[in-house]
């Protein structure tokens, strides 16, 4: 009788202890395909870290990232939160029309850093002495506020554009918020990812000044089962995959990344979780595109990942297109300017990302 009374408590304790035992027994995972990021590893145990409090923080991050069955638990928590009526889950807003929106609240927008980074861009443009343009992209939530759940607030993209026009006085800055909202309405952002679609990038391209706009091709399907970064914050089983499209290009277009030949469209991305890497194979320090036209002109693009989709279009306007991502580029942009002598500059950044970046200070080097 006593043995029977003890069995249930023992089973209960075992169930509670099982995740911890598995956590200790199983090897750490390096990378999460779903979240497209590297995971925390088990920290080294030391008294100094314990006393400073850093050890506890590292242990918490490790346990959260390496928890057995983590993806399944995340999906389950999302279903429970949705059943309770919550619309902010795992760092994403559950928007209308099946959108999962990256959260950019007004209080999180760093206006001081945003102004400082625009100043770095302006100084570079002044020193380069060539025509410059900027595509400052509002986030999906800022561009399409009708998708936001009730009570959600986002930074003001119109104010962000006004500030940019003030601090980049010589650059062409089209109003992309208006362009992305304009009729006819179409899907200009992915539902499961923070990037714009090919249709959204094409709208921005059509807003560029007269030296651009020569691409006149078609959109071709690549995949229909893309689940991007905002889906990965929730792992909602109810999510539906997105469609990725590619711009048709002449066979003459060639690409290299950091000195190595690559494909403009990396079709092997169809078998990867992050299918957005179909564009130039993902992010690189320096990508060089050539052969779309023969006008002898060079365009230098300072960019984040929003430009990856846009870049193929630019080959119709400039014989050489240089894409520089300061997060990965080991050289100095000023040395590159002196070497390549571009005919024009283009800046492509998502607004909230520009307000978070610590990399643009490299433009002073």
Q: Structural domain boundaries of the chain?
A: 2-68, 100-364
Q: What pLDDT score does 1 carry?
A: 44
Q: What pLDDT score does 179 carry?
A: 98
Do strands 286-290 and 254-257 pair parallel, antiparallel, or not at all (unpaired)?
antiparallel
Q: What pLDDT score does 81 carry?
A: 74
Q: What pLDDT score does 280 carry?
A: 98
Token pair for 61: 């991050």
Q: Count other C-beta atoms under 10 Å from residue 83's C-beta.
A: 8
Phi/psi for 134 (5° steps) reads -140, 130
With a cut of 70, list the residues of the chain below it in pLDDT.
Answer: 1-26, 28-77
Question: What's the pLDDT tens digit per position in 280-326?
Answer: 999 999 999 999 999 999 999 999 999 999 999 999 999 999 999 99
Note whether 312 and 289 are within 8 A (CB).
yes
Q: What pLDDT score does 297 carry?
A: 98
Q: What pLDDT score does 96 carry?
A: 96
């Amino acid at each position: 009788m006593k043995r029977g009374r003890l069995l249930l408590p023992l089973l209960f304790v075992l169930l509670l202890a099982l995740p911890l035992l598995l956590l200790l027994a199983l090897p750490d995972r390096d990378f999460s395909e779903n979240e497209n990021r590297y995971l925390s590893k088990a920290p080294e145990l030391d008294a100094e870290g314990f006393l400073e409090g850093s050890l506890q923080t590292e242990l918490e991050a490790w346990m959260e990232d390496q928890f057995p069955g983590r993806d399944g638990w995340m999906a389950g928590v999302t279903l429970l939160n949705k059943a309770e009526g919550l619309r902010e889950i795992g760092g994403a807003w559950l928007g209308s029309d099946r959108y999962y929106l990256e959260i950019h609240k007004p209080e999180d927008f760093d206006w001081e850093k945003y102004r400082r980074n625009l100043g770095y861009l302006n100084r570079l443009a002044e020193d380069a002495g060539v025509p410059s343009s900027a595509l400052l992209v509002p986030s999906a939530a800022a561009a399409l506020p009708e998708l936001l759940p009730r009570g959600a607030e986002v930074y003001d993209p119109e104010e962000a554009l006004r500030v940019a026009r003030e601090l980049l006085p010589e650059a062409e800055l089209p109003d992309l918020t208006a362009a992305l909202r304009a009729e006819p309405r179409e899907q200009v952002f992915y539902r499961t990812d923070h990037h714009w679609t090919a249709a959204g990038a094409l709208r921005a391209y059509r807003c560029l000044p007269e030296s651009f706009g020569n691409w006149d091709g078609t959109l071709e399907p690549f995949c229909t089962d893309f689940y991007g970064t905002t889906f990965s914050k929730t792992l909602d089983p109810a999510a539906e995959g997105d469609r990725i499209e590619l711009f048709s290009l002449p066979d003459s277009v060639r690409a290299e990344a950091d000195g190595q030949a690559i494909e403009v469209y990396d079709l092997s991305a169809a078998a990867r979780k992050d299918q957005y890497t179909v564009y130039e194979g993902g992010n690189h320090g320096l990508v060089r595109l050539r052969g779309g036209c023969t006008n002898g002109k060079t365009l230098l693009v300072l960019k984040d990942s929003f430009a990856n989709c846009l870049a193929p279009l630019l080959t119709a306007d400039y014989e050489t297109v240089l894409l520089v991502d300061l997060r990965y580029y080991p050289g100095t942009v000023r040395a590159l300017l002196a070497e390549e002598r571009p005919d024009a500059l283009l800046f492509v950044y998502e607004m909230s990302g520009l307000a978070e970046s610590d990399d643009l200070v490299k433009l002073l080097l």
